[in-house]
Every structure is written in C-alpha cells, then in structure tokens.
C-alpha cells in the first residue's frame, strides 16, 4: 500500500479531529474537515444544474429534516433534499480533493466515498464515554449537565447519517484499515501511528 | 496504559492467529489460542462439581447444538449445555492465565472476558475476502471450490458465538483498542504494531 490520503471517521469527543489535524501538519499535507469541504464546495460555485448533471452520485432522497443548506437553497433541488444535495456536492469535492494529492480528510463518510482507491488509509477513532465526556466538557465548554446524552445524540446522528448514505454500519472494524481507542492509547500515540503508517506506506 | 496481555480476535483467514503467535514470540511471552485454552482447561481437571460451585460464570443456556465436549460429558451438566460448560471453564482458565502474567490470547472472546482489566490491549484482525480466500486456500489447503462460502460460514459462527456470550457485536471497533486490516497493512506490520504498543505500554 502506498498511502497518500488518510480518512478519519470518529466518535464525537474522541479527539479524531485533533488527531487528523496534527497528523496532517506533521506530514505536511492539507487537512480537510467537513466544514472545510462544505466551504470548498460552496466556493467552487456548484449550482443546481451541476447536480442535475451528476445525479448518479445522489444516493436517494433523505428522510431527514432539510438541513443547514436550506437557507442557501430553499426547498428541494431536482427532487433532492438539501441534505442530499450537500452530500452530492461533497462527494464530488472529496473525490476531487483526493485527486489533487496527499491529504487528511476528517468526516463526511470519506472512507466510503474513496473506498475504491488503493492509496488511502481509512481510520476510525473512538473512546470510552468517560474519556469523551471529560474532553467535551473541558475543551468544548459543553454543559456538564449531561455530556453523555450529548455524546449519544451526536453518535446516533453520525450512525444514522453513515448508514443512510453508505448502507454500512458506522464503527464496524471491517470498514476501516485501522481503528484506535484514543482514550486508552492516547491522542499523541494515535497521531504517531497515523503518521508512521502513512510514511511507511 | 501498561500492557501485559494482548487479546486477538480475528476473522477466519485474516492471519490473526499467526500475528498473535509471532507477536508473543517477539515479546517472549506465552501464547494461547482456543485449542490451548481448551487443553489447559481439560488438563486442569475441572469437573462438573467445579462448575456447580462457579455457576455465576455461566451466561445462560445455549440454544446451539451440543458441541464437541459432548463426547466427554454427554448430555447436560447442571442444566448447562456442553458448549456453555466449556465456555464456563474457559472463562475461568482465561482469567487465571491472565493472572499469571503477560501473554497473548487468541480467540475465545478473551477481549470480553478480560474487559475489566486495565493492562490489556484488545485487538481485532480482519481482511478483505480476496486476501482471506487466497490465504486459506494457500495455507490451509481449503478447497478452492468455494473458499468465500467457507469464510462466511466461519465468520457467521464466530459472530453468533460472540453475540451469544458477550451481548456485543463482533467486529465493532468500540469493543477493541486497535483493529487492523491485515490484507492492506500486511501481516508483518500488524505484528510490529502489536509488539510496539505492548512494549511502549
């Protein structure tokens, strides 16, 4: 395997984003998370016509509430919900970013979107509830009232979203080349493992 | 984390057993797979009375066919099927082996049995169907007719057995500290990763 692209899926609060960002920095490659991918998509000037021409990427209509793109593109677009519209754009953007060269991509089902490429290292970062609860309270200023509920809600949303768009189970080891418990192994060691595997690849 | 014990769960044909055995050799610690654990259990002279006294380890009656212990202990033992009887013995044996010191244990739901210990590295090894098919035909002399079917059967049995005795999903990343795709990463690199993590632990 020659690794050029690392994808990082993660449980909320596990430090997956931090691990991906730090690994990208040490490897000297671009880092993209879902916000950056969204921004790139919008700045790229994609419009509904583009989506019409690339409808084969659309995985079907979402049953979920119309998402944050609604403010930009109200209602449905070529019978796609806003969530599906965004998925379609991001699918295309992630494919194109991968074509540009080595990078780290966090989130957005990138492991699935790039599953046919042989130059990727697909990873999943998770941790126990205590580790994640402590982390989101400490770093994100989340309410201490029920960080566990917040974690379970976020995990559930990611699980449902992943299943909807990929028809696979979120967190199944078989979807990834490497999965790590960041709470047990430590954030720093997880970064090192990603960097070593990418460099040796 | 101070790692003394490595548990290795694995898909059939993924090389998990080979990886665990080689890692144990390099670390200079004992290696136990399910056959060895079974042998230790039988040689230890466990008998039905022992099981009676340690009934709290029994996870309930198995719905599955009476297993290979039937020839030794026909029928049921204190209302345990032979499969559950063996599970109960092996549960105890694995706990005791872990008490004796650093080791590598492959199979037998050892990740679950030792889940409360903080000195374990729980791992899961898997690989794509092509890699595993080629491997079982080449190494185990499996029939080339339908190695995929053989793999799916073995995986299904392990999945059902794991779910029955642990109430967890086999192969879920969250059950393990580290999962590796041996087909993509390579057997040798998987061995190195286990050894490094155990030594650094």
Confidence class for position A86, pLDDT limits 50, 70, 90: confident
ipTM above 0.85, yes or no: no
Per-residue confidence (pLDDT) for residue B122, from 0 to 100: 97
SS (H, E, C) chain A: CCCCEEEEEECCCCCHHHHHHHHHHHHCCCEECHHHHHHHHHHCCCCHHHHHHCHHHCCCCCCCCCCHHHHCCCCCECCECHHHHHHHHHHHHHHHHHHHCCEEEECCCHHHHCCCCCCEEEEEEECCHHHHHHHHHHHHCCCCCCHHHHHHHHHHHHHHHHHHHHCCCCCEHHHCCEEEEHHHHCHHHHHHHHHHHHHHC
Q: Choose among A174, A177, A178: nearest Cβ to B171.
A: A174
pLDDT(A126) > 50: yes
Q: Are A176 and B179 in contact (CB < 8 Å)?
A: yes
Q: Which of A126, A159, A179, A192 best tests the B interface by mutation, with the highest count of B CBs <10 A? A: A179
Contact residues on chain A for B176, CB-CB shorter than 8 A: 173, 179, 181
Output the six-digit token pair for A120. 């990727």
Q: Are B178 and A174 in contact (CB < 8 Å)?
A: no
Per-residue confidence (pLDDT) for residue B79, from 0 to 100: 60
**B106 secondary structure, DSSP code:** E
Chain B residues in contact with chain A using a Cβ-Cβ cutoff of 8 Å: 1, 11, 124, 126, 171-174, 176-181, 184-186, 189, 193, 197, 200
A121 neighbors A198 (Cβ within 8 angstroms): yes
Chain segment B71-97, per-residue pLDDT in tens = 444 455 556 666 777 788 888 889 988
Q: Is B97 helix (H, G, I), strand (E, B) or coil?
A: helix
Considering the entire predicted model, what is its pTM?
A: 0.83
- Residue found by looking up tokens 């086999």 in the block: B170
Chain A residues in contact with chain B using a Cβ-Cβ cutoff of 8 Å: 1, 11, 124, 126, 171-174, 176-181, 184-186, 189, 193, 197, 200
Q: Give exposure, A133-159, as e/b (b: 16+ Cβ within 10 Å).
A: bebbbeeeebeeeebeebbeeebeebe
Instruction: Give A26 or A140, the one with higher predicted confidence.
Output: A26
Chain segment A62-81, per-residue pLDDT in tens = 333 334 444 444 455 556 66
Residue of chain A with shortest Cα separation from B174: A126
d(CA B105, CA B7): 5
Chain segment B45-74, per-residue pLDDT in tens = 665 555 444 443 434 333 333 344 444 444
């Amino acid at each position: 395997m020659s690794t050029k692209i690392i994808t990082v899926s993660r449980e909320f609060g596990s430090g997956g984003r931090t691990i991906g960002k730090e690994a990208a920095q040490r490897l000297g490659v671009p880092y993209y998370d879902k916000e950056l991918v969204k921004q790139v998509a919008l700045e790229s000037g994609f419009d509904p016509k583009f989506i019409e021409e690339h409808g084969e990427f659309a995985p079907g209509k979402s049953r979920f509430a119309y998402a944050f793109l609604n403010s930009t593109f109200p209602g449905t677009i070529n019978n796609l919900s806003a969530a599906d519209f965004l998925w379609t754009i991001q699918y295309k953007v992630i494919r194109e970013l991968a074509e540009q060269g080595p990078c780290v991509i966090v989130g957005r089902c990138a492991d699935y979107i790039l599953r046919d490429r042989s130059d990727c290292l697909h990873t999943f970062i998770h941790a126990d509830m205590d580790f994640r609860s402590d982390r989101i309270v400490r770093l994100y200023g989340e309410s201490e009232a029920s960080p566990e509920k917040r974690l379970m809600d976020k995990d559930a949303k990611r699980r449902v979203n992943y299943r909807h768009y990929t028809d696979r189970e979120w967190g199944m080891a078989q979807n990834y080349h490497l999965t790590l418990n960041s709470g047990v192994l430590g954030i720093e060691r997880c970064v090192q493992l990603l960097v070593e595997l990418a460099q040796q690849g």
